[in-house]
Amino acid sequence: MLALGIDPGSAICGWGIVEQKHGNLSAKSYGAIKTSPKAKMQDRLLKIYTELTDLIKIFQPEVIGVEKLFFGRNSTTAIPVGQARGIILLCAAQNNLDLVEITPNEVKMSITGYGGADKNQVIYMVTKILNLSEPPKPDDTADALAIAIAASYEANNFARRNFL
């Protein structure tokens, strides 16, 4: 099974493709969609939409995982992140993909076993779980891979529950 994980953002939208085969996980590809802060918001969202659509066509994942919107201290970033999430949800719907929405704490729990893990712990575990030679960069990409891993686990658990 292939899972596409996305860390939504309008400036940097991290993505990662994880394959689960015979109980093992591996990173098939990962990166970040970067947009210019000088570009109009509609152009930034169009770039995210176009690149995500291309990734879905190339890799054909069965599930897409995306972080649920989290209102932290900086609520001004919530609106552009919400807009990027909308694009991601649209891509999932247009391609008839199963969608796993997951909170940051749920991702951390899934990856490290502790919902309060810090970013360095998550990056370390993503690197180990996927047997990467070095930590993925930028951090948004590591977060996307963590989301893909968690979405893969969730989709696998859902399939098992429905099979039994």
Q: What is the pLDDT of residues 17-37, one digit of tens each?
A: 999 998 899 999 999 999 999
Per-residue model confidence (pLDDT) at position 74 = 60
- pLDDT category of residue 161 using cuts at 50, 70 and 90: very low
| 164: amino acid identity, one letter | L
Give this prediction's pTM: 0.91
Task: Based on the residue annotation, tell me whether 106 is a catalytic residue of this protein.
Answer: no
Longest Cα–Cα distance of the chain, Å, equals: 52
Look at residue 107 and tell me whether its pLDDT is greater than 50: yes
For the record, the structure tokens of 87 come out as 């694009």
Query: Is the Cβ–Cβ distance between 52 and 88 less than 8 Å?
Result: yes
- Cross-strand bridge partners of residue 12: 34
Per-residue model confidence (pLDDT) at position 23 = 83
- pLDDT category of residue 14 using cuts at 50, 70 and 90: very high
Catalytic residue among 19, 51, 101, 140: 140
Q: Which residue has the higher pLDDT, 70 or 142?
A: 142
Catalytic residue among 67, 101, 143, 154: 67
The whole-angstrom separation of Cα 133 and Cα 60 is 25
Task: Based on the residue annotation, tell me whether 118 is a catalytic residue of this protein.
Answer: no
Average pLDDT, the chain: 91
Kindly tell me the sign of the dihedral angle through the C-alpha atoms of 83, 87, 93, 97. negative
Per-residue model confidence (pLDDT) at position 5 = 98
Task: Based on the residue annotation, tell me whether 140 is a catalytic residue of this protein.
Answer: yes
Query: Is the Cβ–Cβ distance between 61 and 3 less than 8 Å?
Result: yes
Which of 102, 120, 104, 121 shows the shortest CA–CA distance to 112? 121
